């Protein structure tokens, strides 16, 4: 078995391609992990007191927002926006930076009800505040919303209410707080494998001259196939014949009917080097950033094209979490093949990926490029047998894949 352990770095922002949305924020894919070293600290506040203290701070910020000049369209998604900005502010390194980041995101110069906010900040350590914000954002927003709605029902004359929370009174005897699990952002092995598959199959089709194929055949090669009730390929000899006409299938595998070609390539998840996994002194929080993108309406600036159909302004705003440029990752992959031809195809696959090192999503807007060195892992002439096999059998392979129906 060939085992490779490598480290790569992001060049520019890197998004994992996750479809998970936190409000209007497309968040990074996260994987639950047991922490290498459990987080332990002493606190003179109970769990609920720590949450209440964070809510005190958030309420001070909330009632300091310039609501009078806010557009109604923005108000419709205000809770999602507040949640997103709370998440972004939680990437600070201490509690004072957290407050500064949160206020700056709303354009706030001074916070209302400053005494309560200061008491809450003083009652919390840096880690206590950041731990609550990072891992209990939605609960904090629910508490905030409940207090705000209650104030609205009371119809306070000035639209402001005192913080209806119990006073934060530290306990005489501190308690031990322990956290052994965490959700660490990561890049799934399946997504990396998908990028490698498309590179390998595009290269294969070009080398043997394939210009057309059935759609189901295309999905077998480029997306890993599909499972259904078909029994057409239960014959293992047919599957072996298929692999002989595309050795990359032996590396990457595919699902065909109710059968599968098990690929010899094993792709691990890529994790940031971080203290949570015991691989670095830095926390993964130091690597995460938020990208804000807009698509503006340029119709009013277009000079050469006459437009018709009325005035329909088109503008789009979106945010997504990403790994910052220079984030280091650990990554493992392996090849279990024993046949020389499949091993040679594996080495060629690594060379293709080295030449086009892009992973994750949103590549069209500049995400996903990585810097790595896989060439040092490839033995001299490692791809030769695979390339010679394609050159020798190109005609038969082209005919097979252009005619086969799966």
Q: Are 106 and 64 in contact (CB under 8 A)?
A: yes
Tokens 């900040």 sit at which residue? 121
* C-alpha gyration radius of the chain: 27
| pLDDT given for residue 158 in this prediction | 53
| pLDDT given for residue 265 in this prediction | 97
CA angle 253, 243, 224 (to 5 degrees): 30
SS3 271: strand
Give which of 287, 275, 290 is closest to 86, Cα–Cα: 290
| pLDDT given for residue 99 in this prediction | 95
- Measured in whole angstroms, how far is the alpha carbon of residue 225 from the centre of its chain? 25
| pLDDT given for residue 195 in this prediction | 95
Token pair in block for residue 174: 């501190």
- E-state strands within 324-369: 328-335
| pLDDT given for residue 248 in this prediction | 97
d(CA 113, CA 117): 7
Contacts of 376 (CB under 8 A, 6+ apart): none
DSSP H or E run through 4: strand 2-10
- Asked whether the CA dihedral 126, 108, 138, 14 is positive or negative, the reply is negative
Give which of 343, 267, 362, 340 is closest to 27, Cα–Cα: 362
What does 293-315 look like in DSSP terms, one character per residue? Answer: EEE---GGG--SS---S------
- E-state strands within 238-284: 254-257, 259-261, 265-267, 271-272
SS3 292: strand
pLDDT in tens for each of the 406 residues of the chain? 999 999 999 999 999 877 677 667 788 999 999 999 888 888 888 889 999 999 999 999 998 999 988 888 888 889 988 998 998 899 998 999 999 999 999 999 888 878 888 989 999 999 899 999 998 999 999 999 988 887 777 665 555 555 556 677 888 888 888 889 989 999 999 999 999 999 999 999 999 999 999 998 999 999 998 877 665 556 677 888 999 999 999 999 998 877 888 999 999 999 999 999 999 999 999 999 988 776 655 555 656 676 666 555 555 567 889 999 999 999 999 999 999 999 999 999 999 999 999 999 888 888 999 999 999 999 999 999 999 999 999 999 999 999 988 7
What does 90-151 look like in DSSP terms, one character per residue? Answer: TTSSSHHHHHHHHHHHTT-SS-SSHHHHHHHHHHS-HHHHHHHHHH-HHHHHHHHHHHHHHH
String of b and e for 203-234 (b: at least 16 CB within 10 Å)?
bbbeebebeebeeebbbbbbebbeeeeeeebe
- Measured in whole angstroms, how far is the alpha carbon of residue 294 from the centre of its chain? 20
| pLDDT given for residue 295 in this prediction | 61
SS3 290: strand
Give which of 326, 81, 378, 42 is closest to 177, Cα–Cα: 42
Q: Using CB atoms within 10 A of its CB, is residue 79 exposed (0-12), middle (13-18) or buried (19+)? A: middle
Give which of 251, 220, 205 is closest to 350, Cα–Cα: 251
- Measured in whole angstroms, how far is the alpha carbon of residue 121 from the centre of its chain? 31
Q: Are 96 and 147 in contact (CB under 8 A)?
A: no
């Amino acid at each position: 078995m060939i085992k490779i352990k490598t480290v790569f770095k992001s060049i520019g922002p890197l998004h994992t391609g996750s479809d998970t949305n936190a409000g209007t924020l497309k968040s990074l894919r996260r994987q639950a992990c047991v922490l290498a070293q459990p987080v332990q600290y002493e606190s003179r506040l109970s769990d609920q007191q720590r949450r209440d203290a964070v809510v005190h701070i958030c309420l001070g910020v909330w009632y300091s927002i310039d609501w009078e000049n806010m557009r109604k369209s923005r108000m419709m998604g205000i809770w999602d926006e507040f949640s997103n900005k709370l998440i972004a502010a939680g990437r600070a390194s201490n509690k004072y930076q957290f407050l500064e980041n949160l206020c700056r995101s709303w354009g706030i110069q001074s916070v209302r009800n400053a005494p309560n906010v200061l008491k809450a900040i003083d009652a919390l350590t840096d880690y206590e505040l950041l731990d609550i914000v990072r891992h209990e954002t939605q609960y904090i927003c629910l508490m905030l919303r409940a207090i705000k709605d209650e104030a609205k029902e009371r119809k306070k004359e000035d639209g402001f209410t005192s913080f209806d929370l119990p006073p934060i009174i530290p306990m005489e005897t501190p308690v031990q707080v322990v956290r052994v699990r965490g959700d660490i952002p990561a890049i799934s092995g399946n997504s990396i494998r998908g990028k490698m598959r498309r590179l390998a199959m595009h290269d294969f089709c070009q080398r043997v001259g394939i210009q057309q194929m059935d759609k189901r055949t295309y999905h077998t090669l480029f997306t890993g196939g599909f499972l259904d009730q078909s029994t057409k390929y239960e014959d293992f000899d047919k599957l072996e014949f298929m692999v002989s006409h595309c050795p990359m299938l032996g590396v990457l595998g595919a699902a065909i009917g109710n059968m599968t070609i098990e690929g010899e390539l094993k792709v691990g998840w890529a994790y940031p080097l971080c203290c949570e996994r015991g691989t670095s002194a830095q926390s993964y929080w130091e690597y995460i950033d938020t990208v804000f993108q807009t698509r503006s309406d340029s119709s009013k600036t277009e000079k050469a094209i006459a437009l018709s159909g009325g005035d329909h302004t088109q503008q789009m705003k979106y945010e997504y979490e990403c790994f910052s440029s220079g984030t280091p990752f650990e990554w493992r992959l392996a090849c279990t093949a024993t046949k020389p031809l499949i091993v040679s195809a594996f080495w060629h696959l690594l060379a293709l990926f080295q030449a086009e090192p892009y992973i994750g999503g949103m590549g069209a807007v500049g995400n996903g490029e990585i810097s790595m060195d896989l060439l040092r892992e490839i033995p001299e002439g490692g791809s030769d047998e695979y390339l010679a096999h394609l050159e020798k059998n190109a005609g038969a392979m082209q005919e097979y894949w252009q005619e086969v129906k799966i």
